[in-house]
Amino acid sequence: MTQTKHKERPFVKMHGLGNDVIIFDCMKSVFSNPAHIARKVLNRHTGVGGDQLVLLTKSRKADFGMRIFNHDGSEAEMCGNGLRCLARYIRDAKLSQKKEMKVETLGGIRGVRFLGNQIEADMGEPQMKGKDIPVNLSGRIINRPLKIESKDFRITCLSVGNPHCVVFNDDVANFPVERFGPLLENYHLFPRRINVSFVNVISKNELFMRIWERGAGETRSCGTAACAATVAGVLNGFAERKVTIVQPGGKLEVEWSRKDNHIYLRGPAEMIFKGTILV
């Protein structure tokens, strides 16, 4: 029986408010099966452990490219915390000294810039038509009723490069996210599954939320979910366009700009450790 030969590859583990990602530099050498690598490396018992795998790649359209894989091996279009972590890695590894750069993702080209210890990401314009999210409903999905099991929900859906469903709730801290998160994620209305945010309005300028991420489960923070919650808050009349998003891992600042309709996400990105792993 022929044994599979493994290669030792360096990696970096980083986090954005507890949303931990494993970064591999694939500028020179790409993985033939990144979904398998993600499932192996992200396993918290037999691998390094993390929420997402982020691959730094070359790009013909931007300064760099980025691919994101979830804990279950599925590929994600976008990851706001992962994007900021990748930008920090690029600068720390001296791959670029630009204060602003463009990164190509499956969700489109995203701009990032350094603001002291914070990194701001231009997350682009939200997409709100059902077919563009995608959701198997026509028009905009704002405060639409939805019943799962015996629970009545009001959902607001949009895409910020990846699909999101936002549910407002007055007691998010005690809400059974682990029960209803996967039910909503895999509901038949969502052909590519969906990220689910449960949001409590603290004030017009502050929202508290918990996130069930598609393919990853509940995470301590999610940048795209913070963006989606901000837009949903504005659309439902609960929030201003510039808000503080409080998540279990910490705070993010989000602004949905009137000038260009883009969403701007600001927050930290921290190094945890470097290492090598056989893959």
- pLDDT category of residue 3 using cuts at 50, 70 and 90: very low
User: pLDDT class for 5, splitting at 50, 70, 90?
Assistant: low
Q: Report pLDDT digits (tens) over 34-92.
A: 999 999 999 999 999 999 999 999 999 999 999 999 999 999 999 999 999 999 999 99
CB neighbours (10 Å) of residue 232?
Answer: 28
Active site includes 85? Answer: no
Whether residue 141 is found in the same domain as residue 242? yes
Q: For the segment 87-121, what is each residue's pLDDT rounded down to a tens digit? A: 999 999 999 999 999 999 999 999 999 999 899 99
What's the rounded Cα separation, in Å, for the pair 16 and 85? Answer: 7
User: 76 and 179 share a domain?
Assistant: no
**For the stretch 90-99, what's the b/e string if a residue is b when 16 or more beta carbons lie within 10 angstroms of its beta carbon?**
bbeeeeeeee
Q: Is residue 3 part of a domain?
A: no
pTM of the model as a whole: 0.94
Considering the domain architecture, whether residues 144 and 232 belong to the same structural domain is answered as: yes
pLDDT digits (tens, 9 = 90+) for 163-209: 999 999 999 999 999 999 999 999 999 999 999 999 999 999 999 99
Residue 59 belongs to a domain: yes
Query: Phi/psi of residue 107, each to 5°?
Result: -85, 5
In a domain, 2, yes or no: no
Same domain, 116 and 146: no
Confidence of residue 7 (pLDDT cuts 50, 70, 90): confident
Cβ burial, residue 25 (10 Å; 0-12/13-18/19+): middle
Using DSSP's 3-state secondary structure scheme, residue 190 falls into coil
Residue 1: pLDDT band by 50, 70, 90 thresholds? very low
Catalytic residue among 79, 85, 157, 165: 79
Task: Tell me the H-state helices in 43-114.
Answer: 80-92
22 vs 279, residue with greater confidence: 22
CATH of the domain at 164: 3.10.310.10
79 vs 160: CA distance, rounded Å: 10
170 within a domain of the structure (yes/no) = yes
| Sign of the torsion angle spanned by Cα atoms 257, 259, 262, 266 | negative
- Residue 185: what are its φ and ψ, rounded to 5°? -55, -40
Average pLDDT score over residue span 217-246:
98
Q: Is 79 a catalytic residue?
A: yes
* Domain of residue 207, residue span: 130-261
| pLDDT tier at 161, thresholds 50, 70, 90 | very high
**Number of structural domains the chain divides into:** 2
Same domain, 208 and 111: no
Catalytic residue selected from 85, 157, 165, 222: 222
156 and 233 co-located in one domain: yes
